[in-house]
Chain A
C-alpha cells in the first residue's frame, strides 16, 4: 500500500514538472515534426534500405528456375534487385564485402541464402522474401548468416507469396516513419535523467528524512519511486507514439503491443541506468551530466537524428541502435525474432544498474 502511495505521488509530481513535460512530450513531438517534414525530401531511406541488392546463381532449369525469374521481376517493383551472377563469382564474398545484401544459390539440393550479419534490416528483408518464396514452393531452405550449412525447415507452407512478407506492401518508411521510431526510442532513453535524481532528489530536498522517519521500509520507498517513475515515463512514451500515429500518421506496423512492451523495457533500462549513475557519481549534478552526455552520444550514434551506417562498429554500442533495429524489423519486415533478445538485453542491463543502486542504498543510513 505504501508502495502504491509513493508511486502515485511520484507520477503526480512528474506530470506537474515542466521539465518532464518538456523533455518527454513536447521535445520529441516537435523534433519529430521538424525532422520528419523538413527532411522528407532529403531523406535517403529508399536508397539506404529500400533498395536491396541480391545476387543469385541458378544451377537448375525448369520450374524452379522460372519461378526465380518471376520472383526477380516481381521484386523489382519493391526495389529489390535480383541479379544473376556468373558461376565463377564468389557470391558469399560479395555479400561479405557489402557489394550485395544477399546471395542466393539455387542448386539441385535446394536454396541457400547468405546475408551479411552487419546488415540486419536488409538481410531480414531478403530472408523474408526468400522464406516466403521457398514456403510457396514447399522447399527446404538453409538460411545462413554468412556461414552456410544451418538448415531451417519451412514451417508454414501456406504462407502467402511475398505479400505476406511485406514486400508488396505499399508502405515505404518515409522520414516521418523513421523519426517517429527514432524520437520515441530517444525520449525513452531520456528517462535516465529523472532516474538520476530519483532517490538523490529526496536527499537534496530533505524529504528523504521525512520518508525514513515514517513507518515505511526503505525497500518500499525504493520500489514505489522506481515503479512510479517507470509508469510516468512510459506514459509519456505511449503518448508520443499515439501522437505520431494519429497526428503525423507514422507507421508503427501490426505488432503494436510488442512495440509498447519493448519500449517499456527501454524505459526500465534508462531509469535504472540513471539511478545507478546517481550512486556512482559524487554529486547530483555530476550524475545528471554523465547521464546527459551518454544520452546524447547514444542518440547520435543510435541514429536518433539521422540514420547511421549499420556496418560501422560504433553503431551497435547505442541502446537506440538495437531498439530501432528491432522495431524496424518488426514494423517493416514483420520479423519479431529479435524482440525477445532485445527485451532481455534491456532488462538484464537494467538489473545490473539496479544492483548498484540497491547495494548502495542498503549500505548507507539514508537513501
Chain B
C-alpha cells in the first residue's frame, strides 16, 4: 500500500526526518509512536503531499507520489493533528466542501456526506456550526472531513488529543471499523494504550528515525530483559534520584508527581535495595507495583525518554 524509502526532510539545517524507510501493507493499522518533535507529523505530511522530501521516495499503490500527485492524493484521507474545519460552515457544509474537492457531485456527494457524518455520530448536528461544538465533536468532524471521499489510506495524526474518554473510545472504535471496512490506517499517538489496543504494527520514531518496528509482541520481545517497578511515595523532594540509579540492575528512573517509575533488569532482584534506598532518603512508600514489560518500557528503554515528557 505505502512504501517509504530513505526519506529525509530538513527544515533549514534541522533534520526532522532522517533517512526513514518503512512499508505499510494493505489492511494494516500502522502505529507511529514518538515523543514530541520526533518527526511523526512531518512524515505524515510528506505522505499526504503537503511537504516535499529533500531526498528519498514515497510510493502509494506502487506509484510515486511526486509523479502521480493527483492519484496519490485521491487515495489518501488525512486527519490533521490540529482541527482543520471552517467555523462559518455547518458540519454538513464542511464535509460537503472537502468531499467536493475530491470530485464527488450531486446525489452521490450528499449520500457520502451523510454517511461520513453518521459514521462519526454527528448526523443530528449536521446543521450546527462547529463553533458550538465540544472538543470531541470537533475532532469527530475533523475525521468526517477526511473520510467522505472513501480513501484507501486514512492517516490520523493524534486524533484523540484533548478530548473526553467517551469521545476517545468512539474514535478508537471508528478506527477499527474503518479498518474492517477495508481502509488501511496510519495512526499516530502519544498514548501508548491506544496504539497497543488498535495497531497491528508499530514503528517507534525518535529524532526522525525509526528505532524499532514490529508488532506489539515483537517489540516487547526485544526488551524482555526489562521490567517496570512503580512506586507511589510521599516526600518526593527528599528523594535523590542518583541513589536509585546507582543500584545495580536499575536502567532508568522517572519521577512524576508522587510516582517513581524504575526500569530495571528483569533478571536482577533488587527490590529490597530499592526499598532500603527510599527509606534511607526519608521518603514514605505508599504502594509498590512490579510490572512486566509493555510498550511504555520498550519506548523508555529504546529512547531513554518517557513518551510524554512534555
Measured CB to CB, the residues of A under 8 A from B are 2, 5, 9, 12-13, 16-17, 205-207, 209-216, 365-366
Cβ distance A329 to chain B, nearest Cβ, rounded Å: 40
Interface residues on B, range: 20 to 34
Residue ID in chain B nearest A16 by CB atoms: B88
Which chain B residue shows the least CB distance to A18? Answer: B88
Neighbouring A residues of B145 by C-beta, 8 Å = 210
Across-interface contacts of A215 in B (CB, < 8 A): 69-70, 73-74, 101-103
Q: Let me know if B282 is at the binding interface, CB within 8 A.
A: no
| Distance in angstroms between the alpha carbons of A5 and B101 in the assembled complex | 8
- Report the Cα distance A366→B84, complex, angstroms: 15
Surface stretch bound by A, among B92-100, B111-119, B256-264, B290-298: B92-100
B89: A residues at CB distance < 8 A: 9, 12-13
Binds A, one of B18-26, B75-83, B226-234: B75-83
Q: Does B163 contact A (CB under 8 A)?
A: no
**Inter-chain contacts of B50 with A (CB < 8 A):** 209, 212-213, 365-366
Which residues of chain A come closer than 8 Å to B74, judged between CB atoms? 215
Would you call B49 an interface residue if the criterion is a C-beta within 8 Å of the partner chain's C-beta atoms?
Answer: yes
Whether B101 pairs with A12 at a CB distance below 8 angstroms is: no
User: Are B88 and A213 touching (Cβ within 8 A)?
Assistant: no
Q: Assess the A207–B88 pair: CB atoms within 8 A.
A: no
Q: How far is the CB of A194 from chain B (nearest CB, A)?
A: 12
B86 contacts the other chain (Cβ, under 8 Å)? yes
Cross-chain contact of B101 among A2, A13, A17 (Cβ < 8 A): A2
| Inter-chain contact A210/B78, CB cutoff 8 Å | yes
Q: How distant is the Cα of A2 from the Cα of B52 in the complex, in angstroms?
A: 23
Chain A residue nearest to B76 (CB atoms) is: A213
CA distance A13 to B97 in the complex (A): 12
Cβ contact within 8 Å between A213 and B97: no
In the bound complex, what is the Cα–Cα distance between A205 and B142 (angstroms)? 12
Contact of B80 among A2, A5, A209 (CB under 8 A): A209
Chain B contacts for A13, CB-based, 8 A = 86, 88-89
Residues of B within 8 A of A205 (CB): 84, 86
Main secondary structure of the interface of B (DSSP, over half): loop
Task: Give the chain A neighbours of B52 by CB distance below 8 A.
Answer: 365
Further 7 A-B residue pairs, CB within 8 A, beyond A13-B88, A205-B84 = A2-B101, A9-B89, A13-B86, A209-B45, A210-B80, A213-B50, A214-B73
Task: Name the distance in Å between B229's Cβ and chain A's nearest Cβ.
Answer: 41
- Pairs across A and B, CB under 8 Å, 15 listed: A9-B97, A12-B88, A16-B88, A17-B88, A209-B78, A210-B84, A210-B98, A213-B49, A213-B76, A214-B98, A215-B73, A215-B74, A365-B50, A365-B52, A366-B50
B residues in contact (CB < 8 Å) with A: 45, 48-52, 69-70, 73-74, 76, 78, 80, 82-86, 88-89, 93, 97-98, 100-103, 145-146
Once the chains bind, are A5 and B97 in contact (CB under 8 Å)?
yes
In-complex Cβ contact of B84 among A2, A9, A206, A365 (8 A): A206
Q: Are A12 and B93 in contact (CB under 8 A)?
A: yes
**Are B86 and A216 closer than 8 Å at their CB atoms?**
no
Give B257 Cβ to nearest chain A Cβ, in Å: 33
Q: With a 10 A CB-CB cut-off, give which of A2, A9, A215, A216 has the most chain B CB atoms.
A: A215
Docked Cα-Cα span, A206 to B138, in Å, equals 13
Residue of A nearest to B49 (CB): A213
Q: What residue of chain A has the Cβ atom nearest to residue B85's Cβ? A: A207
B79 CB to nearest A CB, Å:
10
- For B155, the closest partner residue in chain A by CB is A213
Residues of chain B within 8 A of A365, CB atoms compared: 50-52
Among B51, B85, B88, residue most surrounded by chain A Cβ atoms (within 10 Å):
B88
Bound: A212/B101 CA distance, A: 10
How far in angstroms is the closest Cβ of chain B from A216? 5
Cross-chain contact B78 with A213 (CB below 8 angstroms): yes
Chain B residue numbers with a CB within 8 Å of A16 are 88
Shortest Cβ distance from B42 into chain A, in angstroms? 12
- CB–CB A206/B82 < 8 A: yes
Nearest A residue to B80 via CB reads: A209
Distance A2 CA – B98 CA, assembled complex (angstroms): 10
**8 residue pairs, one from A and one from B, having the closest CB atoms:** A13-B88, A214-B101, A206-B84, A215-B73, A206-B82, A16-B88, A215-B70, A213-B48
In the complex, what distance in Å separates the CA atom of A2 from the CA atom of B69?
Answer: 16
Which B residues touch A5, using CB under 8 A? 97, 100-101
Q: Which residue of chain A has the shortest Cβ distance to B73 in the bound complex? A: A215
CB closest chain-B residue, reference A221: B101
Q: Which residues of A contact B102 (CB under 8 A)?
A: 214-215
Q: How far is the CB of B105 from chain A (nearest CB, A)?
A: 9
Q: Is the CB of A206 within 8 A of B83?
A: yes
Option from B80, B88, B93 in Cβ contact (under 8 Å) with A206: B80
- Say yes or no: B86 contacts A9, CB within 8 Å: yes
Q: Which chain B positions have C-beta within 8 A of A206?
A: 80, 82-84
Chain A residues whose C-beta falls within 8 Å of the C-beta of B45 in the assembled complex: 209
Q: Once the chains are docked, how many angstroms separate the CA of A159 from the CA of B120?
A: 73
A304 to B5, CA, bound (A): 61
Taking each of B50, B74, B82, B146, which has the highest tally of chain A beta carbons within 10 Å of its own beta carbon? B50
CB distance A216 to B101 under 8 Å? yes
Kindly state the separation between the CA atoms of A184 and B97 in the bound complex, as whole angstroms.
33
User: What residues of chain A lie closer than 8 Å to B82, measured between beta carbons?
Assistant: 206
Instruction: Assess the B73–A213 pair: CB atoms within 8 A.
Output: yes
Cα A211 to Cα B48 with chains together (Å)? 11
Cβ distance B11 to chain A, nearest Cβ, rounded Å: 10
| Bound form: Cα–Cα A209–B84 in Å | 8
With a cutoff of 8 Å between Cβ atoms, the chain B residues found around residue A216 in the complex are: 101
Contacts of A211 in B (CB 8 A): 101
A366 to B49, CA, bound (A): 10
| Chain B minimum-CB-distance residue to A2 | B101
Alpha-carbon separation in the docked complex, A206 to B83 (Å): 7
Q: List, in ascending order, chain B residues with CB within 8 A of A366's CB.
A: 50
